[in-house]
Amino acid sequence: MSFVEYSEIIQEGDVVIIFLGHESMMPIKVQSGAQTQTRYGVIRHSSDLIGQRFGSKVTCSKGGWVYVLHPTPELWTVNLPHRTQILYTTDIANITLMLELKPGSVVCESGTGSGSLSHSILRTIAPTGHLHTVEFHAQRAEKAMQEFKEHKVSHLVTVRNQDVCKDGFGITAIADAVFLDIPSPWEAITHAKSAMKRKGGRLCSFSPCIEQVQRTCEALLDHGFEEICTLEVLLRVHDVRTVSLPLPDFGPEEGSAGSSQMASDVGQEEVPNTGNTSVICRTATPPREMAGHTGYLTFATKPLD
């Protein structure tokens, strides 16, 4: 099992996603002799998981069943243990696109946090790219290194425990892109520019407050960055459902005295208006409430040296 390569068979030591429903999933590490308790009963790792195919339907001890899914960055984002606030798929998709990431890209990231964005970056730049991620908090950095190793992506990532605003990313002139998710991103612009290739590259800064965006944009301008833009991504999920809609009675149209005869002429049966005629149809309705602001994404391009 690897987060960047698909495997067919579940093996001991793999991380799998137990799917109980769209709103109920959990990640577990497969270990021989271990058991996992769910509301449908116990899952025995040795007999129910090891040697089974990813995507299998597993029957629990109480007779209920779950699906065992191969982990992906998207599934990990909604199931990971939160050590910090994380980025979700809505913002992640725009970040990987706007930073122009592809297989072989070299990326700098700060801070690592819970690793939500890190896993998506790693899948995008695999198999020949590399991620240099910096985390200020020592325990979070150590936990991130442990997870990358368990997820079989440690060969694609270097984790550094340091202050990016003071010590930078630990590399010079090799990065294609830089991502900043720190309280004072304007203090790291100098280090971001020195880490990027001389032929240019892309930078993204995520900030929840517009005052942070303003200071970051000023620093980007001072350091010669171009194509600076800030955007906010909002997601509104519509609910597709079946509804019954009443048909209004507008009365006869003007000049339609012969409407009954016309209906007969074309082989149609005139339907009497009972006052409660309705039609069944499927429609999409927007949510009454929606999650709004997550943060501002500021993008910029480093020009050629």
| Residue 67 shares a structural domain with residue 101 | no
DSSP 94-117: HHHHHTT--TT-EEEEE--TTSHH
| Residue 170 shares a structural domain with residue 298 | yes
Answer yes or no: is 105 a known binding residue: no
Q: What is the pLDDT of residue 261?
A: 54
| Residue 220 shares a structural domain with residue 94 | yes
Asked if residue 164 belongs to a domain, the reply is: yes
Alpha helices in the chain (DSSP H): 73-77, 89-98, 116-125, 138-150, 164-167, 189-195, 210-222, 259-265
Asked if residue 259 belongs to a domain, the reply is: no
| Residue 178 shares a structural domain with residue 225 | yes
| Residue 210 shares a structural domain with residue 126 | yes
pTM of the complete model: 0.85
Answer yes or no: is 218 a known binding residue: no
| Residue 153 shares a structural domain with residue 296 | yes
Peptide bond before residue 27 is cis, with ω within 30 degrees of 0: no
Rounded-to-10 torsion of CA 292, 85, 112, 5: -70
Answer yes or no: is 256 a known binding residue: no
What SS3 state is found at 194? helix
Asked if residue 196 belongs to a domain, the reply is: yes
Domain-terminating residue out of 71, 92, 113: 71
| Residue 155 shares a structural domain with residue 100 | yes
Answer yes or no: is 114 a known binding residue: yes
Answer yes or no: is 14 a known binding residue: no
Answer yes or no: is 116 a known binding residue: yes
| Residue 46 shares a structural domain with residue 181 | no
| Residue 154 shares a structural domain with residue 297 | yes
Q: What is the pLDDT of residue 74?
A: 96
Domain-terminating residue out of 29, 47, 71: 71
Q: How many CA atoms lie within 13 A of 51 on its CB side?
A: 6
The structure tokens 């769209």 sit at 22
| Residue 179 shares a structural domain with residue 85 | yes
Peptide bond before residue 115 is cis, with ω within 30 degrees of 0: no
Q: What is the pLDDT of residues 83-100, one digit of tens each?
A: 999 999 999 999 999 999
| Residue 103 shares a structural domain with residue 64 | no
| Residue 93 shares a structural domain with residue 26 | no
Sheet (strand 15-21) strand order: 24-29, 15-21, 65-69, 57-59
The phi and psi torsions of 283 (rounded to 5 degrees) equal: -145, 160
Local structure of residue 154 (DSSP, 8 states): G
What SS3 state is found at 220? helix
The structure tokens 């579940």 sit at 10
Can you point out the beta strands (E) in the chain?
A: 15-21, 24-29, 35-38, 41-44, 57-59, 65-69, 106-110, 130-135, 157-161, 177-180, 201-207, 226-231, 239-246, 278-285, 296-302
Domain-terminating residue out of 71, 91, 114: 71
Which residues in the chain land under pLDDT 50? 262-263, 266, 268-269
Asked if residue 142 belongs to a domain, the reply is: yes
Asked if residue 186 belongs to a domain, the reply is: yes
Residue 194: CATH number of its domain: 3.40.50.150
Asked if residue 145 belongs to a domain, the reply is: yes
Going by C-alpha positions, the residue among 21, 28, 97 that lies closest to residue 64 is: 21
Who contacts 272 (Cβ-Cβ below 8 Å, separation ≥6)?
Answer: none
Cα 20 → chain centroid: 20
> What is the total count of domains within the chain?
2
Asked if residue 254 belongs to a domain, the reply is: no
Domain extent for 223 = 75-234+292-302
Residue 40: CATH number of its domain: 3.10.330.20
